Amino acid sequence: MSDEKTLSCRTVYLLLATISCGLMLARIVTVESKTVGPEKRHTPFLSANDRSRWCTVRALVDEGTYAIDSMQEGKDKNWRTIDLVRHRGPDGRQHYYSSKPPLFPTLIAGEYWVLRQLTGTSIATSPLYVGRILLITTNMIPLVLYFVLLACWIERSSATDFGGIFVFAVATFGTFLTTFSVTINNHLPAAVSVLVATYCAQRVWYEGRREIRYFVIAGCGAGFAAANELPALSFLAMLAAGLAWKAPRQALMGYLPAVLLIGAAFFATNFLAHGDWRPPYAHRSDGQVLFEEDFEEDAGPLDMLETGRVPAEIHDGLAGGSGSPARELSLRKRYAGAGWELSDRRRGERYAIVRQGEVLQVRSWDHWYDFEGSYWTSDDRRGVDLGEASRGSYALHVLVGHHGLFSLTPVWILSLIGLGIMLGQGPSGQRALASLILVLTVVCLVFYIGLRPVGDRNYGGVCSGFRWLFWFTPLWLIALLPAADFVSRNRWLRFFALLLLLVSVFSASYPWHNPWTHPWLFQYWESLGWIAYP
């Protein structure tokens, strides 16, 4: 492109980014939950999902703990969340904790600590003021970096003015990343991290750069993406393989230590929060068997459990057969025939009693999501949270249905075409990148559609899109570029591409005030009676 055209494109990129940032800023400074607590105080917390992270932020700075009991047991319902777990804390008592991995909320808590030191303002007393500032620093500023890096990529790779401007228009208005700028979430930082890592990797792969900083930044980006989106571990591994193939020494010296640093931070904050190296989502089943009681010839213990009493055999088994130390035991029937929960309130311990045929097993407690009043192990679940029983129906709606990648954001159809162009006609470096994007997309679709149990096939809950794949956005934008260049050659193809952009912008803008709402297609089909959830 000539210098004049390049300057013109840069000006358009700047205008698009400025308008997008202005709109995001307007939404952030006016974001407000419809839920109002007893003190009539409004908050910027829009769902149980983001409230879970906000609770951790507040607890860390204001109370010096990861436990969020005060917010769940207090009178202010603005801080209540269903995205929480309950387990024994360092003081030996049972406490509530956010179910979200604590690394990202811990980083936000660092921002909040600085803000509180500078202004003396607490998020508990001024949630709108503090929350909106933190949304700007946590969401909007990283998206500015995202726009800058993407513009640099487009300038290097675009063959036409239309193609480059079209892709940048999609990035600034046609994806759900900007939609989610008004709420704390893990998808936005993961997507930004993916672009940072990919940008540095392409400098190594395409341009032969070997400065160690590119490997370090790529490792930090890939590591942080995986810390926020577990399936992004596949991205981390494939990027590692590509960098090691091109520059093994620099990858070993730069990329690997950076990944290990992020991994260490992930597990360290998890241990600080929960006293365990495994994140909360790994604690969703009963623990090891402590002892068993056979009631084949005597159904007395089972009868006692059914009537809410603790059999002496189990009582003695917990005491190790040496008599019964002082205990304060209570029994609770668990959800859906999963057995009983035995709690020792004095010691802060919980046990699972499970029937296996003619045997009663007493297990250590390791199901952090199962507690009295839990949304996830009760009959309170409703709507999409019940899960989609049919994998075929789930796949249909994830791809082209009410939460569809291609029905809500049809510009990704062009990304598929772009991948074909990159694989068939592009240089070897482009073929490698296209292969990475294609393999990652297929692997993650198989993971979410084919490998998840019914309870997890819920489209990401009440959400304006299939949020678990939002971190792919920068990769699909990269794949979109050669297709946008291709359609620029024909007036009718350009018109078709603009129609796809129109629908995508509409889908991303429809949940203007709260992205934690069902997609417009879901709401429309529901109003027509085409779909119905209890």
pLDDT over 70, % of the chain: 94
Q: Name which residue leads in pLDDT, 329 or 5.
A: 329
pLDDT at res. 346:
72
Phi, psi of 100 (to 5 degrees): -85, 145
Distances (CA, A) of 420 to 411, 415, 431, 439, 481: 15, 9, 9, 13, 12
Cα separation, 301 vs 50, whole angstroms: 44
What is the residue-wise DSSP string for 250-270?
HIIIIIHHHHHHHHHHHHHHH
| Rounded average pLDDT over 310-335 | 70
Q: Which of 364, 361, 349, 339 is nearest to 291 (CA)?
A: 361
Q: In what order do the strands lie in the sheet with 359-364?
A: 289-294, 359-364, 349-356, 340-344, 329-333
**Under a CB-based contact definition with an 8 Å cutoff, are residues 302 and 295 in contact?**
yes
Q: And the tokens for 204?
A: 């190594």
pLDDT over 90, % of the chain: 68
Beta bridge partners of 98: 84
Q: Are strands 84-88 and 94-98 parallel, antiparallel or unpaired?
A: antiparallel
| Band of pLDDT at residue 3, cut at 50, 70 and 90 | very low
| Residue length of the chain | 534
pLDDT at res. 124:
92
Q: Is the pLDDT of residue 92 over 50?
A: yes
pLDDT at res. 318:
76
Q: Name which residue leads in pLDDT, 159 or 503.
A: 503
Q: What is the mean pLDDT of the chain?
A: 90
pLDDT at res. 55:
96
Q: Name which residue leads in pLDDT, 137 or 311.
A: 137
Q: Is the pLDDT of residue 7 over 70?
A: no
Q: Is the pLDDT of residue 468 over 60?
A: yes
Cα separation, 495 vs 516, whole angstroms: 32
pLDDT at res. 321:
47
pLDDT at res. 39:
56
pLDDT at res. 454:
87
pLDDT at res. 245:
93
CA 291 to chain centre: 38
- Each residue of 382-399: pLDDT tens digit? 888 888 989 999 999 999
| Rounded average pLDDT over 501-507 | 98
Q: Is the pLDDT of residue 322 over 50?
A: no
Q: Residue 245: in which H helix or E strand, if any? A: helix 233-246
- Each residue of 105-164: pLDDT tens digit? 999 999 999 999 999 999 999 999 999 999 999 999 999 999 999 999 999 888 899 999
Judged by average pLDDT, the poorest of 57-71, 147-161, 284-298, 454-468 is 284-298
- In 295-396, DSSP assigns E strands to 329-333, 340-344, 349-356, 359-364
Q: Name which residue leads in pLDDT, 14 or 286.
A: 14
| Band of pLDDT at residue 320, cut at 50, 70 and 90 | low
Q: Is the pLDDT of residue 36 over 70?
A: no
Judged by average pLDDT, the poorest of 35-44, 341-350, 486-495 is 35-44
